[in-house]
């Protein structure tokens, strides 16, 4: 018995092996975690899609995450990342960039300088018209010099069916027009004036979403007269089209 106990007795100078083995094990676990974090797990994406579908539909028939989603991921032929594609949502801004480029060229030909800005964002094509171009101080009526620009935009809107959002803005200078006591009312009235002109030019009224943000969404500090005139603007956003089959609001479900 004494001989067996001696065989299992630990030698003091070998105790470091236990700590070393624990360290190696933890290091291996760390590398496994780092490796797994760097891999695209399609099954996790599917699980997330199922969870979102359940959360948003509350067990009903509405479909937020569509089964047609391309979950393959991967890379393109040129080595760039290949995005996950959702039907009805553009893969990239190619078409909107073409529209923005055409519109920029048409507006630039009228020598408008920085009074018109055309760009693309996540929502669509954004056209910003400065106050100096389309309005007089504290007024919402369109002057004659603004009409050629708006006619150009009408021609761009006519062949497409996208929704259009109009947002009025002002600088931080308080309105002095008794018809519009606040900048909220002045900005909204300006957006409505542009909407009315576009509608009277043949664009369907059900395509428009009109709002006013007053002085509360400036693009520049209101520190110079030029910046104030650029902040006082009307934005025309041509919104990306989204397939109505992706989100179905015709059969809403109310949680018990």
> How many whole angstroms separate alpha carbon 237 and alpha carbon 213?
15
Confidence of residue 41 (pLDDT cuts 50, 70, 90): low
Lowest mean pLDDT among 134-138, 149-153, 184-188, 240-244: 240-244
Mean pLDDT of the chain: 74
> How many whole angstroms separate alpha carbon 169 and alpha carbon 152?
21
Largest CA-CA distance found in the chain, in angstroms, rounded: 111
CB-based burial label for 250 (10 Å; 0-12, 13-18, 19+): exposed
| Prediction pTM value | 0.57
In the predicted structure, residue 131 carries a pLDDT above the cut 60: yes
The residues with which 32 forms a beta bridge, in sequence order, are none
Q: What is the pLDDT of residue 9?
A: 56
Overall average pLDDT of the 37-55 stretch: 59
Q: What is the pLDDT of residue 22?
A: 79
- Taking only the tens place, the pLDDT of each residue in 58-68 is 444 434 334 44
- Taking only the tens place, the pLDDT of each residue in 167-206 is 999 999 999 999 999 999 999 999 999 999 999 999 999 9
Domain definitions of the chain by residue range: 1-88, 94-239
Residue predicted with more confidence, 9 or 237: 237
Confidence of residue 96 (pLDDT cuts 50, 70, 90): low
Best mean pLDDT range from 36-40, 88-92, 140-144, 193-197 = 193-197
User: What does DSSP assign to residue 207?
Assistant: G
Q: Smallest Cα–Cα separation from 103: which of 164, 144, 151, 167?
A: 151
The residues with which 236 forms a beta bridge, in sequence order, are 127, 166
CATH code of the domain made up of 94-239: 3.30.1330.60
What percentage of the chain reaches a pLDDT higher than 90?
30
């Amino acid at each position: 018995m004494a001989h067996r106990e001696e065989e299992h007795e630990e030698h003091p100078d070998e105790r470091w092996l236990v700590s070393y083995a624990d360290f190696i094990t933890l290091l291996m676990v760390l590398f496994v975690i780092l490796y797994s974090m760097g891999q695209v797990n399609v099954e996790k994406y599917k699980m997330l899609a199922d969870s979102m579908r359940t959360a948003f539909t509350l067990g009903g028939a509405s479909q937020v995450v569509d089964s047609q989603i391309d979950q393959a991921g991967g890379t393109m032929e040129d080595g760039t990342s290949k995005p996950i594609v959702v039907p009805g949502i553009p893969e990239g801004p190619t078409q909107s960039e073409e529209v923005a480029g055409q519109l920029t060229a048409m507006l630039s030909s009228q020598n408008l300088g920085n009074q018109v800005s055309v760009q693309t964002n996540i929502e669509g094509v954004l056209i910003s018209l400065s106050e100096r171009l389309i309005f007089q101080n504290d007024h919402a009526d369109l002057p004659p010099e603004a009409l050629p620009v708006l006619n150009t935009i009408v021609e761009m809107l006519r062949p497409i069916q996208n929704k259009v959002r109009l947002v009025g803005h002002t600088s931080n200078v308080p309105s002095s027009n008794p018809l519009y006591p606040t900048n909220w009312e002045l900005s909204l009235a300006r957006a409505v004036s542009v909407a009315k002109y576009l509608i009277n030019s043949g664009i369907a009224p059900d395509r428009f979403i009109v709002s006013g943000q007053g002085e509360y969404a400036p693009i520049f500090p209101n520190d110079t007269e030029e910046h104030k005139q650029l902040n006082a603007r009307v934005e025309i956003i041509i919104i990306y089209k989204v397939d109505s089959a992706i989100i179905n609001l015709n059969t809403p479900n109310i949680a018990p």
